[in-house]
Amino acid sequence: MTFKNSVIYQIYPKSFKDSTGDGIGDLRGIIDNIPYIASLGVDYVWFNPFFPSPQRDNGYDISDYCSIDPAMGTMEDFDELVAALESHGIGVMLDMVLNHTSTDHEWFQRALAGEKKYQDYYYIRPPQPDGSLPTNWVSKFGGPAWAPFGETGDYYLHLYDPAQADLDWHNPDVRAEAAKVVNFWRNRGVHGFRFDVINVIGKGSQLLDAPLGTDDRKMYTDGPDVHAYLRELNEASFGRDEDSVTVGEMSSTSVEACAGYSNPGNHELNMVFSFHHLKVDYEDGEKWTSTPFDLAALKRVLNEWAVGMQEGDGWNALFWNNHDQPRAINRFTDPGRYRVESATMLATVIHLLRGTPFVYMGEEIGMTDPDYETISDYVDVEAHNAFASLMETGRSEREAFAIVHGKARDNARTPMQWDSGRTAGFTNGTPWLRSTNQARINVADEEAEGRILPYYRRLIALRKAQPVISQGRYLPYAMDHPEVFAYIREHGGQRLLVLTNFRAKQAEIEIPLDFTEGSILISNYPERTLDSTIRLEPYEALAILISN
Ligand code: GLC
């Protein structure tokens, strides 16, 4: 099994299953549900961070990289989890948040207490001569990217929340610490790693203002040092395991940089997450807006990344959903009228593309965004900051709420819906985030009579059975079609044509003649005959295989 024919399941531990009744998911809750995870046929489980953290950014503000958050369990639970998954042939992928630490981390605290060694772990800078902040960069969660460093008059850099201080990777001690963290978990049997926002670790050695009117992210993203730092980390840690699987989260990146990060010849990472396809419902590139998604742009981006990564011998991590994104089913399709068709169509797009698919918990039962009614339903710091700033810039409360409702990260963080009960079978207590539609959408019903879960299981199994899916070349098809996203995969004597209708109405498409003789590999509608013109039903997905 290599990462190319693997499928990876993502679990947000805080929301998967609570075994203690405190309303927060935990490791024991995951262990108890391993049979369900194994039944999907996945090869790895990526866990969002469950390390000690003050939870300013839901665990991405880590105060100790080598322990388990007591609210989530113990190291014994963790070892049991690894062993239990392994007994089903499933590997563990841990989230390595190495661009920044919590300001509660011992390193930052010792820096604050005046220890020079640890001050050099961070970007601590004096104000500019005119008294302004060291640079004009803004935090990704809103506001300036600099906060006062204690009473010193200096400032420390935080590209995210002020509770997340950026580490200075120019310092070789920081790089050695990073490798030490990865090696700590390798020694506990972990061979999968997801590296959080890893393409911002290579800032310039001098931090400079972004020229007026330009995007400040260019000043610290995909810097030339990132490749060298990744190679060094690879060599000092996970690269020593033959079976390691790694994925880097790349923010505001380019195809070219990502082909570099994941080209096997470069010895950096196996694959990358990029986000351009999830920005096609942003107005003027701005997330906190409300506008219908642009299908032509979505097709262009998916195609550009498929072609570009293939040409550069790179590898995409394929996904629609994660803990940072509202549910794709709400963004791109019609879960009200066509939930089953929508969920299975979207899954088909991703699972048959060139790359490694990731399934975010709940996606496999067609979970949707919750029907929240007030801003107090949301927990995420980013949602509250966005709401406040939308109000400040003159939106009415209603408008501001509608935008947050559509874009908040909490949309994906609601508890896994196991059954139709009061807390969706997630907890015996009060859940940290509320479920709203478990009566309609839950695992128990899907297992009994659903069509989404079995479809995911089939897609996952197909990647292992059909080399054309795991290894085939990607070719664009019907790029100008206004409703259908289509592509072809080729491998040896096999050719696969994938057709997906992104609209709630019928759509016609011509197919190459030889495919009329092919067989249907998978479809989310009942059997049909193949003619040179195919009329696809609303949100239909159809994959036709020719094997010579
Ligand atoms: C990544 C994580 C996100 C977190 C951020 C800062 O984007 O996925 O949840 O807030 O990094 O660590």
pLDDT at 1: 55
Q: Find out whether 302 and 485 touch, Cβ atoms under 8 Å.
A: yes
Distance 542 CA to ligand 1 centre (A): 35
- Residue 300 CB burial class (10 angstroms; 0-12, 13-18, ≥19): middle
Q: Taking all residues of the chain, what is their mean pLDDT, rounded to a whole number?
A: 97
Our answer to whether residue 249 is catalytic in this structure is yes
Angstrom distances, CA of residue 503 to CA of 295, 353, 484 = 10, 20, 8
Distance 454 CA to ligand 1 centre (A): 31
Our answer to whether residue 196 is catalytic in this structure is yes
**Measured from the CA of 99, which atom of ligand 1 is nearest?**
12
- Per-residue pLDDT tens digits for 457-494: 999 999 999 999 999 999 999 999 999 999 999 999 99
Alpha helices in 312-380, H assignment, sequence order: 328-332, 335-351
Q: What is the SS3 assignment for 93?
A: strand
- Per-residue pLDDT tens digits for 233-248: 999 999 999 999 999 9
Q: What is the pTM of this model?
A: 0.97
Q: Is the C-beta atom of 22 inside 6 A of ligand 1?
A: no
Q: pLDDT-derived band of residue 204, with 50, 70 and 90 as boundaries? A: confident
Q: Which of 120, 170, 174, 126 is nearest to 149 (CA)?
A: 126
- Per-residue pLDDT tens digits for 1-13: 589 999 999 999 9
User: Is 66's pLDDT higher than 70?
Assistant: yes
Q: Is the C-beta atom of 97 inside 6 A of ligand 1?
A: yes
Percent of the chain with pLDDT over 90: 98
Q: Find out whether 244 and 191 touch, Cβ atoms under 8 Å.
A: yes
User: Is 372's pLDDT higher than 90?
Assistant: yes
Ligand 1: residue whose CA is nearest its atom 7: 197
Q: Find out whether 380 and 432 touch, Cβ atoms under 8 Å.
A: no
Q: What token pair was written down for 237?
A: 């840690």
pLDDT at 348: 99
**Measured from the CA of 322, which atom of ligand 1 is nearest?**
8
**Measured from the CA of 57, which atom of ligand 1 is nearest?**
10
Angstrom distances, CA of residue 208 to CA of 201, 305, 341, 454, 534 = 15, 30, 49, 52, 56
Strand partners, 11: 47
Alpha carbons 515 and 43: distance in angstroms, whole number: 32
Distance 59 CA to ligand 1 centre (A): 9
What is the rounded average pLDDT of the residues 151-160? 98
SS3 readout for 436-497: CCCCCCCHHHHHHHCCHHHHHHHHHHHHHHCHHHHHCEEEEECCCCCCEEEEEEEECCEEEE
- Residue 467 CB burial class (10 angstroms; 0-12, 13-18, ≥19): middle
Angstrom distances, CA of residue 544 to CA of 4, 136, 409, 468, 513 = 21, 53, 36, 12, 12
Strand partners, 206: none
- Domain architecture of the chain: domains with CATH: 106-166 (3.90.400.10), 172-315 (3.20.20.80), 469-547 (2.60.40.1180)
Q: pLDDT-derived band of residue 548, with 50, 70 and 90 as boundaries? A: confident
Q: pLDDT-derived band of residue 224, with 50, 70 and 90 as boundaries? A: confident
Q: Is the C-beta atom of 161 inside 6 A of ligand 1?
A: no
User: Is 283's pLDDT higher than 80?
Assistant: yes
Catalytic residue (one of 43, 69, 77, 196):
196
Place of tokens 């139709």: 420
Distance 197 CA to ligand 1 centre (A): 7
Distance 196 CA to ligand 1 centre (A): 6
Q: What is the SS3 assignment for 144?
A: strand
Q: pLDDT-derived band of residue 527, with 50, 70 and 90 as boundaries? A: confident
Q: Is the C-beta atom of 95 inside 6 A of ligand 1?
A: no
